Structure 1
Amino acid sequence: MAPDAPARGLSAEARCALASALLCGLVLGFFWPGVAHYDSVAQYQQVVSGAFYDWHPPAMARLWSLFHALGWQGQGPMFLLQTALYWTGLGLLAAALAGRGARIAAIAVLALGLWPPALGWQVVVVKDGQMAAALLAATGLIGWHRLREKPLTIAATAVALLLFGYAVLVRSNAIFAVAPLAAGLLAPWRWRDWPRRFALIAAVTLAVLALSPAINRGLLGAAPSGAEGSQAIFDMAGIAHRAGPAAVPLLPPATWRRLEAEHCHSSILWDKFSIGKRCDYIQQGLAGRPRQEIFAAWTGAIRAHPGAWAAHRLAHWNATMRWFVPWHFPQAVPLARSEPNPFGLASPAPRVAAFDRFAGGLANSPLGAPILALAAALAVLALARPGQSIAHSLAVPLALSAAAMELSFLVVSIAPDWRYHLWSTLAAWLSAILLLTAPLPRRRARIALTALALVALTGLAARLWLPQIGDDYQALMG
């Protein structure tokens, strides 16, 4: 009896904090030293060489270089950082919910951290994991104060702003998620404020998109890599495929006809056009062209052929949202081993492979589809009553963040990797957990559940009916 007495004396908040710390330790031990993705290896090369460029986020590489300068080599420090931030955010949110008596919701928050597709990709040391961890930590910190009905301190605000800023810099499209999240969390959300709040979100988003190249190249000292041209090339190829070789006069019609003859077109991912791949003649043909000329041709082709562009973007959005796709669709299974590299970036123990296969199966299923997370976020927005519930006032910005990020892929996206949806998935289901802590209007709740079931069932039907592609990258490259 005596050994159990201290545990019984712990508050609900302390038990959640302890559980979160234990889960963090277990994850670190099971997956150590984390998995180095292909992008991770490219960034670590910059860390070792000291030459930074902006294809991958220089903010992450610069932070990594600080650990490297202190003698801590490999991906271990970045894995430790993102895992600690991940579980700190979840732990703070769970503890605050438990303190309000919402113990089932608190358990659900911690269980969400163990959801295999999310956890499997969160242990990969890559920008998506860094972004999700930073935003979870900021959400947990603010939620800890809001749910306990305490004012947000200056120190907590400063830390949250630092985390939001890092998340913005660590992914080129992160602002679509960060702007609505920060605007809704830093000040309590009220629907009557939505015109001014949305105007602020739009203004901040546009400003960040405009200033990001200057920050990356000026402040962070990254050399330009031409990364911003990949979206234009991807879309122009899609337009030329649908509207004909004369639709994009930036390159000769013969080039676009070659694209068709060699089956280079893809509305799923742009990689076929990258240098060194079999269809790189598209990018080679644009070498040396001024960026303004490429972007003018891109926007001009969209204006001239909006239907072709929309068809291309919708096809891509369906692929990246994994709605009407085969059961085995590439880039969903988390990596169990690090990319081969000359820098000594090691892999976790072989036991991780079985976990990742299981996680990949769930990620490939309708339950793991980003479209289901988007549907959940939209349901939260339809059902939440932030003026009547503190938990709902936190659920709304999380749902807005998830929805804005997922809808942004309609316009800005060139690949279907599941990891791109890591934050959106976590944010959507966190918002749903917060939503369920207060009573809901029954009729609207039934409609929302029906819509969720319809999305899941149509996704299941597509997976059972469509021919399989395979799980690996080469299956997409053809």
Structure 2
Amino acid sequence: MGKLGRLWPLWAALLLAALMIAAGWPGIAQYDSVEQFGQILSGRYDDWHPPIMARLWSLFHLMGGGAGPMMALQILLFWLGLGLLAAALAKKGARRAAFPVLAIGALPWFAVWQWSVLKDVQMVAAMLAATGVIGWWRLRGVRVPWIGWVLAGLLLAYASLVRANALFATIPLIVMVLPRGRWFVRLGLVVAGLLAVLALTPLINADLLGATPSGVQTTEPLFDLAAIAVRTGDSDATGIAPAEIEVLRREHCVKPYFWDPLGGGACADAVDDLGSRPVGEMYAMLAGAAFRHPIAYAGHRLAHLDRTERWLVGRGLIDSWPPAESQPNRFGLGDPGRAASWFIDATRPLADTPLGWPIVWLVVALPGLIEALRRPPASARDLALALLVSAISLEASFAAISIAADLRYHLWPMIAAAVGAVLLWSEARPSRRLLLAGGGLLALVITAGILARAILPPAPSSYTAMLAS
């Protein structure tokens, strides 16, 4: 087989990318997309939505096409990453593993989101492309050249800036793909990287990208403090007056699914004084309130974690599938092509199946991590380990840092877990004992999720209904 023939997975991936772009043009502009495009047209940017994405979009806007160029970019990066990984596996002789890598990208649970221009999809696309660039050399046992590191670094830098919590995925991935080192050194590098990104991101957004502060950093402590206040009635610890706590309770302002009720109406008025405080002071208050009321804090966070992992919930939980048309807007952002709209609607019933539950992919990732750790260093094992650590790290962060339960927040951990599992399988079969243990745990998780959906009442079917529930 000639050189071009050995690259068939890459050509197949690029063909799939072209077909998806043609089927979905000019893409889906959801609420966040419309808000960002409004900033581009006005020339006034804030940091509620990622300024790096808005600035990039503003460059593409010069070419026209509305959301189309951004959609094309994320689809190309998505399939480029998978294509490079699959092509590298094929070139090293693991052709049977190349097919599953490409199949991951075609799974409806992942594919339908590629037409939506969203920061989460941009993050996934950039991280997959960076992984593909590194994997193209690493999986073939070749040293990554400096140009490869530069390209991967730029992609991972973009991913880190395009989503507020992306650092919990990007920093572990970066550290794990660096030349091997002791675990305590790697842990130190992860902590240092997290602190550096947290410190630099506000400066980059404000000074380099010209975005004004929007107060988005206060939403996490506001969500948690309001929940502790409602559960305990402790005004001193939470900074919310007794009368305002009663409003929060009466209006059902605190919901485990998302923080949104606190953003408007009587609920927003009740926490207005708290939300106006400096973000550092709010986090200090949250630490004190959580220390004083650990059970209330843990109960709130576990309830939210269950919703965002979509495990023990009623059937039909919203935000698990993208819409088939764009948010109505005055900016001329149109609807996707008919083929994409049809595919999204046709596959929508799959949203509530186990492959649409993030916790299922977490249960896949955990035994995969154990399997990777018990194996000696090797090209596919090392890259799989990096992906699995990145996936688990981001999922773990949702236990303490998360204010909403949209499925799109979990796309990277789900895809990284799948790719990591395939890479491990490409080198050797996992141990029988680990397969049995992992399979048993997976069966228990899926059975519990199915029973919950059969027993619990259906979830509210719309955003408005969720607010009113």
Aligned to 1:98: 90
Letter in 2 for 1:14: L
Aligned to 1:143: 135
Aligned-pair identity in percent equals: 45
The answer to whether the Cα contact below 8 Å between 2:247 and 2:266 also exists between their aligned partners in 1 is no
1: CA distance, partners of 2:116 / 2:346: 16
**Change in 2 beyond 3 A, CA 1:303/1:110:** same
Is residue 475 of structure 1 aligned with residue 462 of structure 2? no
Letter in 1 for 2:177: L
Aligned to 1:346: 334
Aligned to 1:434: 423
Task: Give the alignment's TM-score, normalised by structure 1.
Answer: 0.93
**Change in 2 beyond 3 A, CA 1:278/1:338:** farther
Aligned to 1:407: 396
2: CA distance, partners of 1:149 / 1:49: 49
Letter in 2 for 1:250: G
Aligned to 2:239: 250
The answer to whether the Cα contact below 8 Å between 1:117 and 1:362 also exists between their aligned partners in 2 is yes
Aligned to 1:318: 306
Equivalent of residue 175 in structure 1, options 167, 177, 182? 167
Is residue 35 of structure 1 aligned with residue 35 of structure 2? no
Is residue 398 of structure 1 aligned with residue 387 of structure 2? yes
1:211 to partner: Cα distance: 2.3
Secondary structure (helix, strand or coil) at the match of 1:344 reads coil
1: CA distance, partners of 2:244 / 2:230: 11
1:53 to partner: Cα distance: 0.4
Matches within 5 A, 1:11-410: 13-68=6-61, 70-188=62-180, 193-246=182-235, 248-275=237-264, 277=265, 279-286=267-274, 288-384=276-372, 385-410=374-399
**Change in 2 beyond 3 A, CA 1:223/1:373:** same
The answer to whether the Cα contact below 8 Å between 1:176 and 1:408 also exists between their aligned partners in 2 is yes
The answer to whether the Cα contact below 8 Å between 1:406 and 1:421 also exists between their aligned partners in 2 is yes
Task: Give the alignment's TM-score, normalised by structure 2.
Answer: 0.95
**Change in 2 beyond 3 A, CA 1:395/1:12:** farther
2: CA distance, partners of 1:476 / 1:127: 23
**Change in 2 beyond 3 A, CA 1:156/1:246:** same
2: CA distance, partners of 1:81 / 1:129: 11
Question: Which deviations, in whole Å up to 9, do the C-alpha atoms of 1:5-48 show, x marking residues without a partner?
Answer: xxx75655321111111111111111111111111111111111
Alignment gaps of 5+ in structure 2: none
The answer to whether the Cα contact below 8 Å between 1:329 and 1:471 also exists between their aligned partners in 2 is yes
The answer to whether the Cα contact below 8 Å between 2:130 and 2:152 also exists between their aligned partners in 1 is yes
**Change in 2 beyond 3 A, CA 1:452/1:211:** same
1: CA distance, partners of 2:269 / 2:414: 36
Q: What root-mean-square deviation, in Å, do the aligned CA atoms of Structure 1 and Structure 2 show?
A: 1.8
**Change in 2 beyond 3 A, CA 1:295/1:9:** closer
Alignment gaps of 5+ in structure 1: 1-7
The answer to whether the Cα contact below 8 Å between 2:217 and 2:279 also exists between their aligned partners in 1 is no
The answer to whether the Cα contact below 8 Å between 1:387 and 1:393 also exists between their aligned partners in 2 is no
1: CA distance, partners of 2:321 / 2:448: 22
Secondary structure (helix, strand or coil) at the match of 2:324 reads coil
The answer to whether the Cα contact below 8 Å between 2:78 and 2:125 also exists between their aligned partners in 1 is yes
**Change in 2 beyond 3 A, CA 1:207/1:388:** closer
Is residue 451 of structure 1 aligned with residue 441 of structure 2? yes
2: CA distance, partners of 1:223 / 1:429: 38
Letter in 2 for 1:238: A
1:249 to partner: Cα distance: 4.7
1: CA distance, partners of 2:125 / 2:143: 24
2: CA distance, partners of 1:291 / 1:131: 25
1: CA distance, partners of 2:275 / 2:441: 47
1:236 to partner: Cα distance: 0.9
1:166 to partner: Cα distance: 0.4
2: CA distance, partners of 1:348 / 1:336: 7
1:297 to partner: Cα distance: 2.6
Letter in 1 for 2:387: L
2: CA distance, partners of 1:72 / 1:407: 40
**Change in 2 beyond 3 A, CA 1:138/1:246:** same
2: CA distance, partners of 1:84 / 1:187: 28
